[in-house]
Structure 1
């Protein structure tokens, strides 16, 4: 069983225009509108991969209703918390003359403490042994320890807690413990308070976290260079499949989705990291806010399996 948690979901609006010009009215194509936000994207990808999850998120206003309907259309199981304020929107546009992608993120509405408690209550009702994936930013004014509170709930309910968020939102989580963390290089520096520019510094920082805290796995995202997979006493580098870079929107969420989905089906960690990397790359080759296609994932995954077999990588 997989549950995703998104405290700051967003309607993602994507379009194209020939060229961005200052002070001009820009004619855009018919927009694509999708339900988005970290954990929600994880649920959407898991559905595309053939799996099942339940998306827990904060739903408010007319945008929240549209959001719910979009997820329902995709067949994603939902268990939202009704909140007072409207769900936020994000906007992205591709300049077709150059291929450049521009992304505009709007702040989410503040949640009341009772609404945060309602999200935590949803988490506490999950069955033991389930994967709980908390992903994405927090709304303005959110308690700095919110994810630490989620981690504490997960520990009390014996859930496998997976977290992918910005560096400062990791505050207090390490002390509570987690099954898996997925920072990027900047977020790793935020967590440790030290710069980690090269692979050796990054490996050292990851091992130090695993030694000090009750964290089982850390996957450090390196973008196009793949990821570092850290377990107790060992860190290994896994390159990502090389694809044409079209859009990075949702790529990190796709990587988490593939990784957790593979683990939930009993795949060994080595295979799960390769599947996660394949999912991330499959989304990168998709335009705008579009997420991966399963057939692309399978092709990339087979390529990685063969590559790693040749190079003798094992966990």
Structure 2
């Protein structure tokens, strides 16, 4: 059995995630909510939590500040996630998910996190560099903190290249668009959802073939060697090594979408770290995402449920 390589996740905009419910979400009256579920959150944080839940191990590099940052670290410690905490001057943010019990619809609110200064951006790079595992995997996941340069992903990439380490990126908004418009060198894996690929190309995706075409275009442009693109509840597309795949998601009761994309990245990364081919890693990722969707609030996938769903994740080659 292949010994898994080391994994480091990077979260530059973490959050404490609150999830609650109320009878009906409506404007005006005071809404009385259930006792909240509170979890550590943010892209790379959830990736590391997923890996741990699925029987793997990953270190989480997290930029944290203030009392909310202290709470986030406390929550991670309770889950046993190994953490490298980088202290910043601003306050860590938080998010809120509210379930309308009558309509069975979830409302999600994300508050801004800390504003970072240029000197803190350099500090983060200096602190990340010695933590990068040689011949390992680094996952840079989640939004970029306000104040960081648009090319911060490329700066992290330069650090990982010195260690012959694979880089998986899952980010959004301006940093993602900067990667697409100004590729420094292809990252090993880029994950994005359907709305992000539509925004990047200014086109509506009407089919899986459309999704695969534009994913392939990202590979041709030199943005990434492997592109994993979500296609809503149907599943996920992937272009890797000149091959095009679609993995159909199993049908599960939809309770909460919080963390589903992060679970996909975490499970995909763990599979790659064990030497699995990308298409098998995609199946694991889709299974973990489905397992997460079927959980309540801000909970993530469980190993037994993910393994049970794996066989229902049908892989198709185009």
Cα shift readout 1:62-119 (whole Å, capped 9, x = no counterpart): 1111110100000000001101111001111111122111111101110122222222
- Please state how far the C-alpha of 1:167 moved relative to its aligned partner: 4.3
Residue 107 of structure 1 is aligned with which of 105, 112, 115?
112
How far apart, CA to CA, are the structure 2 residues paired with 1:211 and 1:21? Answer: 47
Provide the residue aligned with 1:265 in structure 2: 274
Looking at secondary structure, tell me which structure has more helix per residue: 1
Provide the residue aligned with 2:250 in structure 1: 241
How far apart, CA to CA, are the structure 2 residues paired with 1:59 and 1:228? Answer: 33
* Change in 2 beyond 3 A, CA 1:206/1:252: same
Matched, 1:70 2:75: yes
Matched residue count: 309
Residue 297 of structure 2 is aligned with which of 252, 271, 288?
288
Cα shift readout 1:286-306 (whole Å, capped 9, x = no counterpart): 0111111111101001333xx
Per mean C-alpha deviation after superposition, the further-off stretch among 214-223 and 186-195 is 186-195
Per mean C-alpha deviation after superposition, the further-off stretch among 78-87 and 148-157 is 148-157
How far apart, CA to CA, are the structure 1 residues paired with 2:133 and 2:308? Answer: 34
Provide the residue aligned with 1:275 in structure 2: 284
Provide the residue aligned with 2:217 in structure 1: 208
How far apart, CA to CA, are the structure 2 residues paired with 1:20 and 1:204? Answer: 40
Cα shift readout 1:14-45 (whole Å, capped 9, x = no counterpart): 11111123221111111111110000000111
Contact 2:11 2:45 in 1 (8 A): yes
Residue 4 of structure 1 is aligned with which of 9, 17, 38?
9
Residue 41 of structure 2 is aligned with which of 36, 39, 55?
36
Provide the residue aligned with 2:162 in structure 1: 156
Residue 140 of structure 1 is aligned with which of 138, 146, 149?
146
How far apart, CA to CA, are the structure 2 residues paired with 1:212 and 1:28? Answer: 48
RMSD: 1.8
Contact 1:152 1:176 in 2 (8 A): no
Unpaired runs of 5+ residues, structure 2, are 1-5
Contact 1:120 1:150 in 2 (8 A): yes
Matched, 1:187 2:196: yes
Unpaired runs of 5+ residues, structure 1, are none
How far apart, CA to CA, are the structure 2 residues paired with 1:51 and 1:196? Answer: 35
Provide the residue aligned with 2:87 in structure 1: 82
How far apart, CA to CA, are the structure 1 residues paired with 2:193 and 2:226? Answer: 14
Provide the residue aligned with 1:58 in structure 2: 63
How far apart, CA to CA, are the structure 2 residues paired with 1:43 and 1:50? Answer: 11
Per mean C-alpha deviation after superposition, the further-off stretch among 204-213 and 12-21 is 204-213
- What is the SS of the residue equivalent to 2:299? coil
